[in-house]
């Protein structure tokens, strides 16, 4: 089944403890992206990647890192999480740069930073 | 900087009613516009994608239009059903492949 998977789905952690949220897609998509969703603010893009080793900042990249060493994986790294990073995180992918390509979303990761 | 606004923020309608959700954007230099549905506590499901060169797309009871010059898109839902209750999001993708979402319209269809 074609899908975007994220792990973990739920995570409670403490301030300053490094964590990684994994994202993987099995559709051979070139484009991958991370978003956070907060009440009243909608989804905001954190980082995106147009191919292996090519990443760029979205609207809210502060406090996050990403890497794209393999086409299928796009992990989101929080080196020193803070309470304002408590949010619902979504990973998405699309086939290519083509304007016809739909973005497919993972199920989300709910992160709480105490 | 691209800004995307969705009006209304919430909408409650009786079953069977036709309805229109609105999405406006400030920069007309877009690559495409996509409408999504989000159920509570769930991920996003793509409904329709309109390329910048297109005027509308249809899927079943859904019709989305795009007017780049005025910076507007509408999602028309015909003969609404209780199962249509969800939050509807529009997302604008720019040439740099940044994607900007609106805050969404929360729809409740009463049986």
What does the alpha-carbon distance between residue A63 and residue A83 come to, in Å, rounded to a whole number? 11
To 5 degrees, how large is the angle CA A47–CA A87–CA A65?
30
Distance from CA of B46 to the nearest CA of A (A): 7
Range name among A96-100, B63-67, B73-77 with the lowest pLDDT average: A96-100
What does the alpha-carbon distance between residue A63 and residue A67 come to, in Å, rounded to a whole number? 14
Q: Please give the residue that has the higher pLDDT: either B79 or B95.
A: B79
Q: Given strand A76-78, what is the order of strands in its sheet?
A: A4-7, A19-25, A76-78, A65-66
Scanning the structure block, which residue is given the tokens 């996050």?
A64
pLDDT of A89 strictly over 80: yes
What does the alpha-carbon distance between residue B51 and residue B38 come to, in Å, rounded to a whole number? 21
* A104–B contact, CB cutoff 8 A: yes
What are the φ/ψ torsions at residue B11 (nearest 5 degrees)?
A: -150, 135
What does the alpha-carbon distance between residue A49 and residue A28 come to, in Å, rounded to a whole number? 13
Instruction: Please state the rounded mean pLDDT for residues A18-45.
Output: 94
Asked whether the beta carbons of residue A103 and residue B100 sit closer than 8 angstroms, the reply is no
Instruction: Please state the rounded mean pLDDT for residues B74-96.
Output: 93
Q: Which pLDDT does position A40 carry in this prediction?
A: 81
Asked whether the beta carbons of residue B51 and residue A100 sit closer than 8 angstroms, the reply is yes
Distance from CA of B58 to the nearest CA of A (A): 14
pLDDT band for position A97 (cuts 50, 70, 90) = low
**Nearest to residue A32, comparing CAs of A4, A64, A63?**
A4
Asked whether the beta carbons of residue B49 and residue A100 sit closer than 8 angstroms, the reply is yes
Enumerate the residues of chain B whose CB falls inside 8 A of the CB of residue A68: none
Q: Which pLDDT does position B96 carry in this prediction?
A: 65
Q: Which pLDDT does position B77 carry in this prediction?
A: 97
Range name among A9-13, A39-43, A56-60, B74-78 with the lowest pLDDT average: A39-43
Q: Which pLDDT does position B65 carry in this prediction?
A: 97
What are the φ/ψ torsions at residue B82 (nearest 5 degrees)?
A: -55, -30
What does the alpha-carbon distance between residue A111 and residue A85 come to, in Å, rounded to a whole number? 8
What does the alpha-carbon distance between residue B46 and residue B103 come to, in Å, rounded to a whole number? 16
- Among A43, A58, A107, beta carbon nearest to B98: A58
Distance from CA of B106 to the nearest CA of A (A): 11
Instruction: Please state the rounded mean pLDDT for residues A87-104.
Output: 86
pLDDT of B41 strictly over 90: no
* Cis peptide leading into residue A43 (ω within 30°): no
Asked whether the beta carbons of residue B89 and residue A42 sit closer than 8 angstroms, the reply is yes
Enumerate the residues of chain B whose CB falls inside 8 A of the CB of residue A32: none
pLDDT band for position A101 (cuts 50, 70, 90) = confident
**Nearest to residue B25, comparing CAs of B4, B7, B53?**
B4
């Amino acid at each position: 089944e074609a899908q975007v998977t994220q792990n973990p789905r739920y995570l409670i952690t403490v301030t300053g403890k490094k964590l990684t949220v994994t994202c993987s897609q099995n559709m051979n998509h070139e484009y991958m992206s991370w978003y956070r969703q907060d009440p009243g603010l909608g989804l905001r893009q954190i980082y995106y990647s147009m191919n292996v080793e090519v990443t760029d900042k979205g609207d809210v990249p502060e406090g996050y890192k990403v890497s794209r060493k393999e086409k299928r994986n796009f992990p989101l790294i929080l080196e020193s999480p803070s309470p304002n990073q408590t949010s619902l995180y979504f990973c998405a992918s699309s086939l290519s740069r083509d304007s016809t390509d739909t973005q497919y979303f993972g199920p989300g990761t709910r992160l709480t930073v105490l | 900087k691209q800004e995307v606004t969705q009006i209304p923020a919430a909408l409650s309608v009786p079953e069977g009613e036709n309805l229109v959700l609105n999405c406006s954007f400030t920069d007309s230099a877009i690559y495409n516009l996509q409408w999504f549905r989000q159920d509570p506590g769930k991920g996003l499901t793509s409904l329709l994608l309109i390329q910048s060169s297109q005027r509308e797309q249809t899927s079943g009871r859904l019709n989305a239009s795009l007017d780049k010059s005025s910076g507007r898109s509408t999602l028309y839902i015909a003969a609404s059903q209780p199962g249509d209750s969800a939050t509807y999001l529009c997302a604008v993708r720019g040439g740099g492949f940044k994607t900007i979402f609106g805050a969404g319209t929360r729809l409740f269809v009463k049986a």
